[in-house]
């Protein structure tokens, strides 16, 4: 008999994985599925225990958040790529005809308006968080369930609108910073340091621009969608995206200001 | 919280998906894109081979193939094959077709994002295929687009419009991959059916999962690099351009201290994981198919899961081995050499598992099984040259020779293509309701295996003899180099004949497809007696009942690959553990 390297498992281990498996074969009535799909059910957020679509009111939200987390990971890596290029270029040099080692990096002095922009972005994150928390305010959710208007959406709309205004202010502020630098004759193409300042701030501004588009989208959904879960998802993911871009900005700002 | 929301939720899940977002439709569309790219890429490779063997041969309706046109062929062939065939088809084509079925889900997590990714992929492909038709022709800097040649429009005929279209195509591709990867990861994490714990996921799903996990950092960093290259080309920056350089007789000055090496780092940080993205789904599928036809469990199943993830992790740590001759610091070279040789450990573990799984079994040598064995063979043959090229000293000599071409064509291209054929033959009953003809499949397999080895094994010899790659024409060189290359010309001719044979060997497959698709739907529900969820019989409950009943959802009770000792009976994942497997 040939050697068998994979002896078959004679007795498959009996792991009771679902309530259905709890039938021990002793007869009696079939088990009654008492799950309501609420968060109190065993399993809860455990994606393996209940069927897709029956994991409670937060299921779609959880899925959207996972998608968002991976997207943010990707965005983070774009900036990791840019920042590592920044650090490498800053310390690189060439040797000229007289054998002199030349590092032609000319540090860019940042316009002070960036501090103001940072403060504006911080405030916008606070207002965004207020909008997000409004969507999870339990009493308002119950009111809404009883049919007493849309109190969650009302409050969230106000805070999201404020966030949108502050976000646009930040973008305008970045624009002003670029204009100020250009008045000092620091252009995108003038020096490696300028390359990276403009490229990194522009790439970040593009992501914030997408963020404002998401905010507008969330406001539209708050107005039009009859699904509470949909409204909650839009506000929640938009706000988490907004926070992430805020944290990212702080990191980039520290890099650009102190590591030139 | 609010129970009403629950019912809303389940309603949402069971509503018919909007048009053209269903994962099977999209999966077939991804495969269609890949087929277009495969046909174009194969035609281009044959032109390259004909030109290398007979440089004076003139292409009908076109004339002689000029050196810049040859480089254009190299660039387009590489870009089409690597991006549009080996990435899209296994990962997104078969991934969409099979992932929801294998994890017991009714759809992907974000169907509309899935459609957006497909549209972006299609845009990328049409942009790339348009590039040969702009003035100057397609880009000539290879699929790796090294600056400064890719950053300067006067560097060559295709480096103006053609290169811009190449950049745009790859940017679309990177965006599409990110969207598709997020969708794939969210699907595998959240859409698994009850009982489908992580350790019960088939290794194919682990392959797709790891590849998607790799896609996100890889393509994000590529996007950043593309942004910088675009700036260098059009906005007068010098991210990748040194302070002074001479291009085509012109002295060019740039501000700052940019470096082409920077692009190499960023590009290969993407490029190396990319080749694992191409081959990981095939690795997973090979494990499962070998186990199924040997009627054995996969040897060391959980270790294989870890090994798959380890290959992914090491895959993002080894990019520097592409840069040994590019001016990398010797210390960095040593580091990358060690991390690269470390990949031999998980790769050998895979091979050992495959061998141990089939060892002493009496496998049914069906066409899918043959292609799985072919995958193992090519993986070993191509993989063995990996540790050789991982040594900076040896790479110094071999890097720019045909040896490297042989290495990556065996391990990535041929193994990847065998993975695709394996997937096609194995899942055809599921996708089309028909079995592909086994006899024709055997002819296809043996001819393709013979063609693959006949084409790519001699390239090792050519490379060892010193024949450089990337050169349009190797005849008419004076001196000892000319003698060397002249002596290699018969070998080149042999490789070209073999390549033509390899292309012709695909005709039985085409004939098999046409014949089978025009025949009746005769395949049974589970013709391979497989254990994974995609072969589960369709639920008998109508969709309305399925929406209301807790008992209509698919459920998983055991891990994959549970077979009785004699292999005659098996326990599929969807069957409850009521009957006990016979003891002997």
Measure the CA–CA gap between B320 and B568, rounded to whole angstroms: 49
DSSP A255: H
Helix locations, A109-227, DSSP H: 113-135, 138-145, 151-183, 192-224
Chain B, 532 to 551: residues with Cβ < 8 Å from chain A are: 550-551
- Residue B110 gets the label, from left (phi > 0), alpha (psi -120 to 50) or beta, of beta
Q: Chain B residue with minimal CA distance to A137?
A: B1
CA distance B276 to A220: 42
Residue A40 to residue A35: CA distance in whole angstroms: 9
Task: Assess A89–B contact: CB distance below 8 Å, yes or no.
Answer: yes
The whole-angstrom separation of Cα B96 and Cα A227 is: 28
Q: How far apart are CA B44 and CA B129, in angstroms?
A: 12
Q: What is the 3-state secondary structure (H, E, C) of B116-152?
A: HHHHHHHHHHHHHHHHHHCCCCCCCCCCCCCCCCCCC
Chain B residues within an 8 Å CB radius of A188: 231, 235-237
d(CA A93, CA B531): 60
Q: Is B82 exposed, middle or buried (0-12, 13-18, 19+ CB in 10 A)?
A: buried
**Cα dihedral B50, B53, B58, B63 in deg (nearest 10):** 80
Q: For strands A94-95 and A101-102, give the pairing.
A: antiparallel
Task: Tally Cβ neighbours within 10 Å of residue B150.
Answer: 27
CA–CA dist B179, B30 (Å, integer): 14
Residue of A nearest to B234 (CA): A189
Please write the tens of the pLDDT for every residue from A21-45: 555 566 666 656 655 545 555 444 5
Q: Do B562 and A50 touch (CB under 8 A)?
A: no
**Residue A251: pLDDT over 90:** yes
Dihedral sign of CA atoms B521, B524, B525, B530 in order: negative
Is pLDDT at A52 greater than 60 in this prediction? Answer: yes
pLDDT at B406 over 50: yes
Q: Which residue among B2, B256, B577 places its CB closest to the CB of A12? A: B577
pLDDT at A119 over 70: yes
* Confidence tier at B525 by pLDDT (50, 70, 90): confident
Q: CB contact, 8 Å: A31 with chain B?
A: no
Q: Stretch B227-245: mean pLDDT, rounded?
A: 92
For the whole model, what pTM was predicted?
Answer: 0.91
CB-based contact, A30 to chain B, within 8 Å: no
* Closest residue in chain B to residue A91, using alpha carbons only: B257
Comparing CB atoms, the residue among B178, B196, B244 nearest residue A48 is B196
Helices B23-53, B67-79: inter-axial angle, 10-degree rounding: 150
- The helix/strand count (H/E) of chain B reads as 20, 4
Cα separation, B448 vs B456, whole angstroms: 12
B contact residues 265-324, partner A, Cβ 8 Å cutoff: 265-266, 269, 296-299
- Identify whether the C-beta of residue A244 lies closer than 8 Å to the C-beta of residue A128: no
Compare CB distances from A192 to B256, B266, B557 and report the shortest one's residue.
B256
Residue A135: is it exposed, middle or buried by C-beta count within 10 angstroms (0-12/13-18/19+)? buried
What DSSP state is assigned to residue B251? E
- The tokens of A52 are what? 């897709």
DSSP string, A15-81: ---SGGGG--SS-SSPPP----SSTTSSSTT-TTTS-TT-S-TTHHHHHHHHHHHHHHHHHHHHHHH
What percentage of residues in chain A have a pLDDT greater than 90? Answer: 59
Contact B196 A37 (CB under 8 A): no
Tens of pLDDT, residue by residue over A143-173, are 888 888 888 899 999 999 999 999 999 999 9
Write out residues 226-245 of A within 8 Å (CB-CB) of B: 227-229
Flag whether residue A57 sits within 8 Å of chain B, measured between CB atoms.
yes
The pLDDT confidence band at residue B415, using thresholds 50, 70 and 90, is: very high
Indicate the SS3 state at residue B563: strand
Residue A149 class from Cβ within 10 Å (0-12 exposed, 13-18 middle, 19+ buried)? exposed
Domains assigned to chain A? 59-258 (1.20.120.80)
Cα(first)–Cα(last) distance of chain B, in Å?
Answer: 52
Chain B CB contacts of A6 under 8 Å are: 296-299, 356-357
The ipTM assigned to this model is 0.91
Q: Is A72 on the interface with B (CB under 8 A)?
A: no
pLDDT at A13 over 90: no
Residue of A nearest to B552 (CA): A51
Residue B58 pairs with which residues in a beta bridge?
A: B64
Q: What is the dihedral of CA B31, B36, B40, B42, to 10 degrees?
A: 30
| A63-96 pLDDT tens trace | 999 999 999 999 999 999 999 999 999 988 888 8
B30: nearest Cα among B85, B73, B70: B85
Neighbour tally for B525: CB within 10 Å: 11
Q: Is B570 helix (H, G, I), strand (E, B) or coil?
A: strand
Q: Are B499 and B455 in contact (CB under 8 A)?
A: yes
- Number of A to B CB contacts under 8 A, please give it: 239
Cα B521 from Cα B434, distance rounded (Å):
5
Give the Cα separation of B397 and B463 in Å (integer). Answer: 9
pLDDT at A24: 59
> What residue has token string 């679902």?
A18
| Tokens 């202010």, located at residue | A169
* Average pLDDT for B560-578: 83
Contact residues on chain A for B235, CB-CB shorter than 8 A: 188-189
Instruction: Tell me which residue of B502, B386, B510, B490 sits closest to B436, measured CA to CA.
Output: B510
Would residue B305 be called left, alpha or beta, if left means φ above 0 and alpha means ψ between -120 and 50 degrees?
alpha
- The per-residue pLDDT for range B119-170, each reduced to its tens digit, is 999 999 999 999 999 999 999 999 999 998 899 998 888 899 999 999 999 9
Residues of B in Cβ contact (< 8 Å) with A189:
235-237, 255
**CB spacing of B6 vs A192 below 8 angstroms:** no
3-state secondary structure of B253: strand
Give the sign of the dihedral formed by CA B163, CA B169, CA B172, CA B178: negative
Q: Round to whole Å and give the CA distance between B307 and B67.
A: 44
Residues B431, B437, B438, B440: is their CA dihedral positive or negative? negative
Rounded distance between C-alpha atoms, residue B12 and residue B407, angstroms: 49
- Does residue B546 have a pLDDT over 80? no
Mean pLDDT of chain A: 86
Give chain A's largest Cα–Cα span.
96
Distance CA B275, CA B519 (A): 37
* Distance separating alpha carbons of residues B368 and B182, to the nearest angstrom: 30
Q: pLDDT tens digits, residue range B464-481?
A: 999 999 888 878 788 888
**How far separated are the first and last CA of chain A, in Å rounded?**
72
Task: Flag if B186 and A63 touch (Cβ within 8 Å).
Answer: yes
The arithmetic mean of pLDDT across residues B248-270, rounded, is 90
Q: What is the pLDDT, as a whole number, of residue B549? A: 47
Residue B152: φ, ψ to 5°: -120, 125
Residue B195: which pLDDT band, with cuts at 50, 70 and 90?
Answer: confident
Alpha-carbon torsion (A76, A81, A84, A85), positive or negative: negative
Determine which helix (DSSP H) or strand (DSSP E) holds B59, and give its type and residue range.
Answer: strand B58-59
Identify all chain A residues contacting B13, using CB atoms and an 8 Å cutoff.
52-53
Q: Tell me how far apart the alpha carbons of residues B189 and B172 are, in angstroms, rounded to a whole number.
A: 26
């Amino acid at each position: 008999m040939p050697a068998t390297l994979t002896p078959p498992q004679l007795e498959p281990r009996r792991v009771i994985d679902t309530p259905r498996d709890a039938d021990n074969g002793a007869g009696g009535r079939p088990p009654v599925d008492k799950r309501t799909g609420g968060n109190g059910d065993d399993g809860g957020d455990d994606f393996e225990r209940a069927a897709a679509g029956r994991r409670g009111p937060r299921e779609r939200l959880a899925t959207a958040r996972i998608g968002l987390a991976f997207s943010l990971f990707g965005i983070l890596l774009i900036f990791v790529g840019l920042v590592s290029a920044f650090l490498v270029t800053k310390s690189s040099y060439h040797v000229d005809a007289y054998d002199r080692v030349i590092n032609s990096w000319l540090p860019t002095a940042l316009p002070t308006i960036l501090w103001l922009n940072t403060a504006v972005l911080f405030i916008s994150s606070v207002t965004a968080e207020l909008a997000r928390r409004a969507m999870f305010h339990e009493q308002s959710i119950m009111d809404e369930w009883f049919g007493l208007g849309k109190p969650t959406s009302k409050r969230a709309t106000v805070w999201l609108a404020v966030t949108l205004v502050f976000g646009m202010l930040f973008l305008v502020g970045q624009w002003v910073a670029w204009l100020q630098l250009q008045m000092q004759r620091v252009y995108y193409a003038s020096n490696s340091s300028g390359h990276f300042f403009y490229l990194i701030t522009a790439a970040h501004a593009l992501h914030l621009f997408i963020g404002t588009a998401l905010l507008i989208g969330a406001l539209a959904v708050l107005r039009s969608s009859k699904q509470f879960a949909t409204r909650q998802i839009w506000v929640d993911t938009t706000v988490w995206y907004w926070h992430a871009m805020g944290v990212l900005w702080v990191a980039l700002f520290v890099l650009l200001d102190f590591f030139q | 919280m609010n129970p009403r929301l629950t019912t809303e939720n389940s309603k949402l899940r069971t509503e018919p998906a909007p048009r053209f977002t269903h994962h099977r439709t999209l999966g077939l569309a991804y495969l269609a894109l890949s087929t277009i790219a495969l046909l174009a890429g194969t035609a281009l490779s044959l032109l390259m081979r004909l030109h290398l063997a007979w440089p004076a041969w003139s292409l009908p309706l076109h004339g002689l193939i000029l050196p810049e046109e040859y480089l254009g062929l190299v660039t387009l062939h590489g870009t089409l094959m690597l991006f549009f065939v080996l990435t899209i088809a296994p990962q997104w084509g078969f991934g969409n077709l099979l992932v929801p079925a294998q994890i017991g889900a009714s759809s992907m997590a974000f169907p509309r994002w899935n459609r957006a990714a497909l549209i972006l992929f299609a845009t990328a492909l049409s942009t790339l295929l348009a590039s040969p038709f702009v003035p100057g022709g397609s880009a000539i800097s290879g699929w790796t687009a090294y600056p400064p040649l890719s950053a300067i429009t006067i560097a060559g005929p295709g480096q103006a419009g053609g290169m811009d279209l190449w950049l745009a195509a790859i940017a679309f591709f990177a965006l599409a991959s990110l969207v598709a990867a997020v969708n794939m990861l969210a699907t595998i994490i959240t859409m698994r059916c009850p009982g489908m714990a992580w350790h019960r996921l088939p290794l194919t799903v682990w392959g797709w999962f790891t590849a998607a996990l790799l896609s996100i950092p890889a393509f994000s960093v590529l996007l950043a690099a593309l942004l910088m290259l675009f700036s260098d080309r059009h906005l007068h920056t010098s991210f990748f351009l040194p302070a002074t350089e001479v291009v085509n007789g012109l002295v060019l000055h740039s501000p700052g201290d940019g470096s082409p090496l920077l692009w190499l780092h960023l590009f290969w940080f993407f490029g190396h994981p990319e080749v694992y993205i191409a081959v990981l789904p095939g690795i997973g599928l090979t494990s499962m198919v070998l186990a199924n036809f040997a009627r054995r469990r996969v040897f060391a199943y959980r270790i294989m899961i870890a090994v798959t993830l380890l290959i992914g992790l090491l895959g993002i740590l080894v990019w520097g081995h592409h840069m040994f001759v590019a001016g990398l610091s010797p210390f960095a070279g040593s580091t990358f050499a060690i991390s690269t040789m470390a990949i031999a450990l998980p790769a050998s573990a895979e091979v050992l598992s495959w061998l141990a799984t089939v060892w002493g079994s009496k496998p049914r040598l069906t066409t899918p099984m043959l292609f799985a064995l072919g995958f193992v063979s090519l993986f070993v043959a191509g993989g063995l040259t990996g540790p050789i090229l991982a040594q900076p000293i040896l790479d110094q000599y071999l890097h720019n020779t045909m040896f490297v071409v042989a290495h990556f064509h065996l391990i990535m291209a041929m193994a990847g293509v065998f993975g695709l054929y394996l997937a096609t033959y194995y899942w055809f009953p599921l996708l089309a309701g028909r079995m592909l003809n086994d006899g024709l499949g055997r002819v296809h397999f043996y001819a393709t295996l013979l063609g693959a080895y006949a084409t790519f094994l001699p390239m090792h010899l050519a490379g060892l003899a010193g024949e450089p790659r990337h050169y349009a024409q190797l005849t008419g060189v004076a001196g000892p180099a000319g003698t060397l290359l002249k002596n290699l010309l018969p070998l080149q001719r042999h490789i070209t004949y073999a390549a033509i044979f390899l292309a012709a060997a695909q005709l039985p497959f085409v004939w098999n497809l046409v014949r089978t698709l025009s025949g009746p739907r005769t395949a049974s529900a589970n013709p391979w007696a497989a254990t994974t969820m995609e072969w589960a019989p369709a639920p008998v409950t109508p969709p309305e009942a399925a929406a209301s009943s807790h008992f209509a959802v698919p459920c998983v009770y055991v891990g994959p690959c549970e077979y009785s000792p004699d292999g005659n009976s098996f326990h599929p994942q969807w069957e409850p553990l009521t009957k006990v497997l016979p003891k002997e």
